[in-house]
């Protein structure tokens, strides 16, 4: 009981720092970097619902980012529909696509599933790169779509400063973390993890493994698409290479695997560790060694897989729990 209270208490400073940061940190560059960090933590947490809990390895989540980004942008550019509404449309569209991909591919095991998802995402990118119009919708091929920053304001999901974006993505992140926490303690969470570890045993215990995975995939693709809209409104320019790229799909998986798949803290830890590497290597080596961050990720991933196959969250969670236990055991003085 007391340990639980300590756990909640220890989260408090984290929340205070996260929400108070823009009050002390005014540099747009650093805020930009932190916004992207939250963005990746959000993406990876969404990915984790299917990639972590359901025990499969999807490597094409950029497709859903792209669907979200293009849906809201096309709707707002061509029809003047608010990106907030477009965000939901993109989410629903991505859910449908996610289920359609999941139906045949969830029967595949291991690497075959991963390859199928890569193939789908790459196929989508090549398609968008090579057509200007999809029916009545103007996708503008490889040149991408630019959103002119004319109608600034909350209703149009467009701001001149970084702070509003910071708070939007932070709220999204907190929301998806809360959702993951609730799912991990629900019947669906138990069924997903059971089906991911031993599908045959799970089925014999009443788990419709394929259906659970589809539900997870539907939620994951919906949430991922929301991030796509956020990205479009944040950068005000999208093109196939930026939102449907293999790099993006892989970076999500890297963050998850290094931080710890199937845990709540894993994606956060992974993003905290890898995003600075990514940004710093781009700032200092962007011209001389582009792609250096991916090499570093690869090396870190190999080391983590050898020494901490469950990701970095495991030893840290253990240390954290031990600390809480010790604090809880001490006669309280004024906690």
Residues that bind other proteins (CB under 8 A): 185-187, 190-191, 193-194, 197-198, 200-209, 310
- The residue among 241 and 310 lying less far from other proteins, judged by its C-beta, is 310
- The residue among 41 and 194 lying less far from other proteins, judged by its C-beta, is 194
| CA 59 to centroid of chain Cα atoms | 12
Shortest distance (Å) from residue 272 CB to other proteins: 24
Q: Which two tokens stand for residue 222?
A: 């919906």
- The residue among 147 and 202 lying less far from other proteins, judged by its C-beta, is 202
Shortest distance (Å) from residue 307 CB to other proteins: 17
- The residue among 8 and 200 lying less far from other proteins, judged by its C-beta, is 200
Instruction: Check: CB of residue 69 under 8 Å from CB of residue 90.
Output: yes
**DSSP-H helix ranges across the chain:** 2-24, 28-48, 62-79, 83-105, 110-130, 163-184, 187-197, 199-204, 209-235, 240-243, 246-259, 265-285, 292-307, 313-329
Alpha-carbon torsion (267, 268, 271, 273), positive or negative: negative
Shortest distance (Å) from residue 209 CB to other proteins: 8
Instruction: Check: CB of residue 226 under 8 Å from CB of residue 68.
Output: yes
Shortest distance (Å) from residue 200 CB to other proteins: 6
- The residue among 19 and 190 lying less far from other proteins, judged by its C-beta, is 190
Shortest distance (Å) from residue 52 CB to other proteins: 12
- The residue among 146 and 198 lying less far from other proteins, judged by its C-beta, is 198
Q: What is the 8-class DSSP label of residue 153? A: B
| CA 277 to centroid of chain Cα atoms | 18
- The residue among 87 and 202 lying less far from other proteins, judged by its C-beta, is 202
CA distance 241 to 239: 6
- The residue among 9 and 201 lying less far from other proteins, judged by its C-beta, is 201
Instruction: Check: CB of residue 217 under 8 Å from CB of residue 113.
Output: no
End-to-end alpha carbon distance in the chain: 14
Shortest distance (Å) from residue 318 CB to other proteins: 13
Residue 111's SS3 state is helix
Spatial neighbors of 290 by CB under 8 A, at least 6 apart, are 282
Shortest distance (Å) from residue 211 CB to other proteins: 9
Q: Which two tokens stand for residue 335?
A: 């906690």
Residues in the chain: 335
Please give the backbone phi and psi of residue 133, each rounded to the nearest 5 degrees, phi first: -125, 130
| CA 77 to centroid of chain Cα atoms | 26
- The residue among 74 and 202 lying less far from other proteins, judged by its C-beta, is 202
Shortest distance (Å) from residue 104 CB to other proteins: 18
Shortest distance (Å) from residue 48 CB to other proteins: 16
């Amino acid at each position: 009981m007391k340990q639980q209270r300590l756990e909640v208490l220890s989260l408090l400073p984290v929340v205070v720092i996260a929400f108070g940061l823009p009050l002390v940190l005014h540099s747009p560059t650093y805020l930009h970097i932190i916004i992207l960090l939250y963005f990746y933590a959000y993406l990876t947490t969404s990915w984790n619902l299917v990639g972590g809990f359901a025990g499969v390895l999807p490597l094409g989540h950029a497709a859903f980012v792209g669907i979200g980004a293009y849906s809201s942008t096309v709707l707002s550019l061509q029809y003047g529909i608010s990106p907030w509404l477009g965000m939901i449309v993109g989410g629903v569209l991505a859910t449908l696509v996610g289920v359609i991909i999941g139906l045949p591919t969830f029967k595949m095991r291991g690497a075959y599933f991963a390859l199928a998802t890569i193939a789908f995402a790459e196929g989508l990118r090549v398609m968008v790169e090579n057509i200007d119009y999809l029916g009545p919708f103007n996708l503008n091929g490889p040149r991408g779509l630019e959103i002119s920053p004319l109608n600034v304001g909350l209703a149009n999901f467009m701001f001149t400063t970084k702070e509003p974006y910071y708070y939007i993505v932070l709220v999204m992140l907190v929301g998806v973390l809360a959702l993951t926490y609730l799912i991990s303690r629900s019947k669906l969470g138990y069924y997903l993890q059971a089906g991911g570890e031993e599908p045959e045993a799970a089925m014999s215990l009443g788990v419709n493994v394929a259906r659970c995975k589809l539900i997870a995939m539907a939620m994951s693709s919906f949430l991922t698409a929301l991030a796509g809209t956020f990205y479009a409104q944040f950068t005000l320019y999208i093109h196939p290479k930026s939102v449907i790229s293999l790099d993006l799909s892989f970076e999500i998986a890297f963050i998850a695997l290094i931080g710890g798949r199937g845990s709540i803290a894993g994606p956060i830890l992974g993003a905290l560790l890898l995003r600075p590497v990514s940004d710093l290597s781009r700032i200092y080596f962007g011209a001389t060694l582009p792609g250096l961050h991916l090499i570093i990720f690869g090396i870190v991933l190999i080391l983590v897989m050898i020494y901490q196959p469950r990701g970095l969250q495991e030893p840290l969670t253990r240390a954290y729990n031990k600390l809480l236990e010790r604090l809880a055991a001490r006669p309280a003085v004024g906690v």
